[in-house]
Amino acid sequence: MAAARATRWFALATACIAALVLAGVFVRLFEPQLTESKSVLRELQREGRIVVLTRNAPTTYYIDRDGPTGYEYELTQALGQALGVDVEYKVYGTIGEVLDALRAGEGQIAAAGIPRSPQGEGDLQYGPDYKVIRQQVVCRRDGPKPANLAGLVNVSIEVPAKTQFEERLNALAAQLPGLTWRARSDIDTEAVLEDVARGDVDCAISASNLVAIYRRYHPELVVALELDGDQPLAWILPPNADRLVSFLDRWFAEDQQQEVIARLDERFYGHVDSFDFVDIARFRRRIATLLPDYRKTFEAASAQHDLSWTLIAAQAYQESHWDPGAVSPTGVKGLMMLTLPTAKLWGVSNREDSSESIEGGVKHLAWLMKQVPETVTGVDRVWFALAAYNVGLGHLLDARDLAVRLGKDPDAWKDMREVLPLLAKPEYYRKTRHGYARGYEPVVYVQRIRGYWDILKREFPEDAELHAANGTALRAAAD
């Protein structure tokens, strides 16, 4: 009995040892696969930084007067804060180059305005969706344009190679015999739109968010067709980043992060919802014909108050279309359309004198920026001050009080643009200190100035460089 029991115990111990040995071998063989998914998150937290791969474009990452900015830049900065790490950027020319760099281990996230592909990205993996766009066929207003999908065979088409736009054309080719296009590996979507604007090619396929911005630079561009339905944008990560993907899933789902995205949508796209071809085309012509007459005055007056001269020029165009003799039915006059009391306040004796009008308008805007409550930060201070210039400071403050009563954020322009129009409704303005106001007008006013300013900043990038060199910015003017 004792011998048999000892034999059984020996056999059991031998089996356990063998199992442990085999388990050790298994772990050694497969440890890279078991732990690899944790490595990216652990590595970036250990190093205290995350490397983001992006591209230089108005919808992603670019240098403004305050330094780097852009939708993807601001969103990844928020991620860095959430992780407690610094964010380093590597900038490439095309989405294809960004993804090649990600595969080569140059970074941990590709954040470049990349639409999610039904075919996926092979060995790479998508993070959560954060914005929706549509693929659009974009052509020249005065050139050939397809009326439907079948009409695509009758126009020349250009797209960036190895993108979702080329994938869509490959899918359409099966049902549209004769469909041809040129896929270029040396340029990205922005350059393709430039080719269409110049007339080098009839049409291109692009993302709706980029088209909305570029139509302001090139008003001759027109959307001929929309392809498919909504298409989400998503970041792309390496195959060994499961832990980081899980973190992003939770992070993007948080209410606080959804609010950040809403603010970014308003900041970067809130002014491109409306598009007036005739107005934008006329504005671009007057940049060449009228603006040179007033540019030096805009620059000199703006510099005295640490403001961007292109902002003041954009505001002046909205006020008077750069006509120093402009007069409104209510009696406001001049390039900056000053009221008589405002002109007297700032020492303007002749409102129709362009220099006096510009100097008075700049002084008034700078003063209004100082009256905006300190809780309003960033470029929203500019939008608030412009709204007050249009509708009056008292009505702006009334709208802030109303926003609080409605559970809106009184410090965010994205909320105030919803509240201000309510000042024209009796059930709201009767409860305010200053009463009725055409509250929809400052919303349109600010939106149009943002559109004009966007164009001028692109036309005169040295304005941004000047502010950066001097260490100044719009936010400094608000202090």
Using DSSP's 3-state secondary structure scheme, residue 79 falls into helix
Considering just the CA atoms, what is the radius of gyration of the chain in Å?
A: 29
Cα–Cα distance between 311 and 269 in angstroms, integer? 17
* Cα–Cα separations (whole angstroms), residue 372 to 65, 365, 375, 424, 455: 22, 11, 8, 22, 26
Cα–Cα distance between 212 and 218 in angstroms, integer? 10
- Fill in the amino acid letter for 60: T
Own/partner pairs, 301-307, CB within 8 angstroms, 24+ separation: 301/358, 301/359, 301/361, 301/362, 302/362, 304/362, 305/362, 305/363, 305/365, 305/366, 305/477, 306/472, 306/476, 306/477, 307/362, 307/365, 307/366, 307/474, 307/477
* Cα–Cα separations (whole angstroms), residue 282 to 290, 322, 459: 11, 12, 15
What is the DSSP pairing of strand 62-64 with strand 125-140? unpaired
* DSSP string for 220-279: TEEEEEEEEEEEEEEEEE-TT-HHHHHHHHHHHHSHHHHHHHHHHHHHHHTT-S---HHH
Q: Which residues pair with 62 in a beta bridge?
A: 69
Residue 359 a catalytic site member: no
Looking at residue 33, its pLDDT comes to 37
Cα–Cα distance between 288 and 309 in angstroms, integer? 16
Looking at residue 217, its pLDDT comes to 76
Cα–Cα distance between 92 and 187 in angstroms, integer? 11
Buried b (16+ CB within 10 A) or exposed e, 290-316: ebeebeebbbebbbebbbbbbbbbbbb
Q: Number of C-alpha atoms within 13 angstroms, CB side, residue 478?
A: 19
pLDDT < 70 regions, the chain: 1-41, 64-67, 271-275, 329-330, 463-479
Q: What angle do CA 44, 50, 54 make, to 5 degrees?
A: 150
Enumerate the domain spans of the chain: 1-34, 279-478
- Catalytic hit among 319, 356, 427, 462: 319
Phi, psi of 63 (to 5 degrees): -100, 120
Looking at residue 40, its pLDDT comes to 63
Looking at residue 388, its pLDDT comes to 95
Q: Say if residues 414 and 266 touch (Cβ distance below 8 Å).
A: yes
Architecture of domain 279-478 in CATH?
A: Orthogonal Bundle (1.10)
Cα–Cα distance between 311 and 314 in angstroms, integer? 5
* Cα–Cα separations (whole angstroms), residue 360 to 313, 343, 456: 13, 7, 22
Q: Say if residues 267 and 213 touch (Cβ distance below 8 Å).
A: no
- Fill in the amino acid letter for 343: A
Looking at residue 53, its pLDDT comes to 97
